[in-house]
Chain A
Amino acid sequence: MKVYDQEKALLEGLAANDTNAIETIYRENYAAIQAFIVKNNGYPDDARDIFQEAMIILFEKAKSSSFILSCQIKTYLYSVCRRLWLKKLQKQNRYNPSIEMIQETVPVEEEIEWHEKRNDDFNQMENALLKIGEPCKSLLEAFYIQKKTMPEIASTFGYTNADNAKTQKYKCLVRLKKIFFAQYKNTD
């Protein structure tokens, strides 16, 4: 029961983007994942990418209200990493059928598919942001991501007043939306 509570606390921490929780999960699980990937045709750098991705999937899962912890974080991360790594190997034609089953795994196909879709969305938004260029990108990030107030933004970016900054933000936003939805329609 204690383990369960600890893990639940960790997941809540992760969902709240708490660095301590992230670090604990890293400390407890990273080494095993790296060992697995290195054993199966990978570099530690691959392990870092895969582990990050698995952490993002776990994060998304932890954030969703329907999430119930049905297995240990360790098992979940291992399952996700294993699946992700197999996929990556297959993509690169480096698939090695002797990949080892050293631990129990839980089915994670759905989550990974869902995550891949979300990853695409993420990339689209990021691409769109890159395309609108500066200072639009920074301006929008300051407002929507860093959640800065308009007067703050006005002073950082050198606008004479908040209203001017707001007008500029609006123009940037319209451009961003245009690019984003154009991409969105293309991929659909």
Chain B
Amino acid sequence: MEENLLLDAIERYRNGEMDDQEKTFFEELRKNNPEIDQVAVEHSFFLGELEKMSELKTLKNHLDEVESNLINEGIISRREGKAKAKIVYLWNRYRRTIAVAALIAGVVSISTATFVSNYSAKTNVGITPLVDNKLNQFEHKLNQIEHKLNDAAVVNKPKFEANFRATGFLADPSGYIITNAHVVDNARNLIVENKKGEQYFATAVYSNPTTDLAILKITDTSFKKVSGLPYTFSQTGAELAEPIFTLGYPREEVVYGEGYLSAKSGYFGDTTSYQISISVNPGNSGGPVINKNGEVIGIISSKETNADGVVFAIKSKNIYNALKEVKKDKNVSIKLPSLNSLKGINRVQQIKKLEDFVYKVKGN
């Protein structure tokens, strides 16, 4: 029982419950008796630990209390948050896996798409060829009136009912016209018409669905060799942001449009074409894309269906390749103009010189 009293004394000493006399006596006792001193130190330490624990316990109770208050108030949302967090957690945990899976899925779908588009009959996904095949009744009427009017002036005049319209331009003064393969591929008859309304029958001497490039030969004997093609064909690449313009026939009348080169590759990274930003409509297909120096850098071919101002133009380099093939296969020699008379003159003058050589291409 002595220890009992001792511990009680230590506790009272610690809590300051002793009067001065008792305190002095107790301190003396500790000083003279190392064993008692040891017990006192040990017990104080133990009580300290116990107090710390009790303090923390109180705090934890308070924290829990506050927490449950806030949960009741809806400030800490518990269950809802858990479901949401699970998704976030799973997402965070598996996002790499998801990314890899998505990448694989992407690669597979892209390669499948490429495979399908390569081996199916060249259906352009997501891009629209710019041929106007909605020549409506009104335009037919207009055409007929035009033809009647023209009949008076022009002797050789084929009677022709077209169901599409596009653009082409002369590459050789002897009657070779460059346009798109998609313009001519499904046509039975083709005619070309210049700004003056003179129409000539034409046939395709070259058509490559891969590059979407076609070369027409005017077969009409009434066609007289023209002179002074003002533009040349660029053999080197064009630069980003380079200003460009085009002439074409989105309507019966020739239409001018200008823009800039937005990317050095075309749809899905197609390196045989450029992406350009220019306002074009069905009918512009086959039109020349010309830079400020009067060099043809490309041929308008299509635009992205779901995007505005995303137009693709075949690089003019492909024309050179096409000419080589034509020479080899058909022994037809087409000579591109080598003299540029558009350089250094203003745009209005350039167009005036140019417009006679840009043709409407019609067919049925």
Contacts and interface: CB of A to CB of B under 8 A. Distances in A.
A89 to B, nearest CB: 11
Given A41-B92, A125-B49, A31 B75 contact: yes
Contacts, number: 102
A44 B51 contact: no
A174 B42 CA distance: 12
A40 interface: yes
Interface in A109-168: 118, 121-122, 124-126, 140-141, 144-145, 166-167
B contacts with A: majority SS: helix
B6 to A, nearest CB: 10
B58 A17 contact: yes
A contacts with B: majority SS: helix
Interface residues of A, number: 42
Given A26-B67, A27-B70, A125-B49, A41 B76 contact: no
Contacts of A39: 88, 92
Contact of B54 (A23, A31, A144, A181): A144
Q: Which of B70, B88, B89 counts the most chain A CB atoms within 10 A?
A: B89
Contact of A30 (B47, B50, B75): B75
B53 A170 contact: no
Interface of A: 17, 19, 22-23, 26-27, 30-31, 34, 38-45, 48, 52, 55-56, 59, 94, 96, 118, 121-122, 124-126, 140-141, 144-145, 166-167, 170, 173-174, 177, 180-181
Q: Which of B50, B57, B78 counts the most chain A CB atoms within 10 A?
A: B50
Nearest to B4: A170
Given A167-B4, A170-B4, A170-B7, A48 B60 contact: no
A122 B76 contact: no
A53 B86 CA distance: 22
11 contacts: A38-B89, A40-B92, A41-B92, A44-B77, A44-B81, A45-B78, A55-B59, A121-B49, A125-B49, A141-B54, A145-B53
